[in-house]
Amino acid sequence: CAQKLKSSLFIVGEIGENDYKYALFQGKTVEEVKTLVPEVVQAIKDAVTRVIDFGAVRVVVPGNFPVGCFPIYLTQFRTNDSAAYDQFHCLKCLNNLSFHHNELLQQAIQELKNEHPNVAIIYGDYYTAFMWILGHVRTLEFDNGSMQKACCGIGGDYDFNLTKMCGMSGVPVCENLDKRISWDGVHLTQKANKYMAMWLIRDIFPKLWC
């Protein structure tokens, strides 16, 4: 086991998004949900510590996505206040929550690095990778007009409805999956995941001490 662990890559996360989602969908404000972040980050730090204690020497710890760009959140927290959205039509307050989580997580990772100098502990920057995709939709040949619409979904501005989600009877699938970033309003399409992976590998690989 020790030999296998020395040549293995561990990915711990991404963790926290569901914790925040359940709180938000139960009516908590973003400020209330922010109070959960230190506890979530501590749980991630504890998990990474356990993995290292088992013998891991290369660990990637991903941060959270900019959830304010996802159809499920854009639908649930839709507002007529244009100032609530950024240049990509993402909800700024929700992206700020993700950004806050990622800041505290990176601080925790630095603490782990100080405690375990012989272990490669790398932050997986899902937030920046996803925003890079949004900034290059035309180059990557996504449909700019459907950038935040679900491929498999129905209803509203984002082809998403919590009561009639992908897989349910009568819910259609878009004709060209490769033109969409979001598969079902919650998860990414295969093409979007491919570009996420490409960006992350370029960012992470030089830091792995391979």
Is the pLDDT assigned to residue 177 strictly greater than 90? Answer: yes
Q: Order of strands, edge to edge, in the sheet holding 58-62? A: 10-11, 58-62, 120-124
Is the pLDDT assigned to residue 189 strictly greater than 90? Answer: yes
**6 falls in which pLDDT band (50, 70, 90)?**
confident
Compute the average pLDDT of residues 165-181.
96
Q: Which phi and psi angles does 182 have, rounded to 5°?
A: -95, 130
| Nearest alpha-carbon partner for 74 in 197, 161, 168 | 161
Residue 121: count of CB within 10 angstroms of its CB = 25
Tell me what pLDDT residue 10 has.
Answer: 96
Tell me the per-residue pLDDT of 134-171, one tens digit each, with 9 for 90 and over.
Answer: 999 999 999 999 999 999 999 999 999 999 999 999 99
Is the pLDDT assigned to residue 23 strictly greater than 90? Answer: yes
Give the separation between CA 71 and CA 77, rounded to whole angstroms: 10
Is the pLDDT assigned to residue 3 strictly greater than 90? Answer: no
Q: Which two tokens stand for residue 153?
A: 């979904």
Domain that holds residue 125: 1-207
Give the start-end residues of each E strand in 25-131: 58-62, 120-124
| Nearest alpha-carbon partner for 158 in 97, 69, 82 | 69
Tell me what pLDDT residue 2 has.
Answer: 80
Total structural domains within the chain: 1
How wide is the angle at C-alpha 30 spanned by C-alphas 17 and 72, nearest 5°?
A: 50
Tell me what pLDDT residue 70 has.
Answer: 98
Tell me the per-residue pLDDT of 37-63, one tens digit each, with 9 for 90 and over.
Answer: 999 999 999 999 999 999 999 999 999
**209 falls in which pLDDT band (50, 70, 90)?**
confident
Residue 191 carries which side chain, given as an amino acid letter?
K
Is the pLDDT assigned to residue 186 strictly greater than 90? Answer: yes
| Nearest alpha-carbon partner for 17 in 131, 100, 132, 107 | 100
Ranges of H-type helices in 54-91: 71-76
pTM: 0.95
**210 falls in which pLDDT band (50, 70, 90)?**
confident
Tell me the per-residue pLDDT of 90-118, one tens digit each, with 9 for 90 and over.
Answer: 999 999 999 999 999 999 999 999 999 99
| Nearest alpha-carbon partner for 11 in 106, 148, 123 | 123
The contacts of residue 190 (CB under 8 Å, 6+ apart) are 177, 183
Tell me what pLDDT residue 146 has.
Answer: 92
Give the separation between CA 28 and CA 36, rounded to whole angstroms: 11
CA 153 to each of CA 8, 141, 157: distance values in angstroms, whole numbers, following the listed order: 38, 21, 11
CATH number of the domain that residue 169 is part of: 3.40.50.1110
Tell me what pLDDT residue 148 has.
Answer: 94
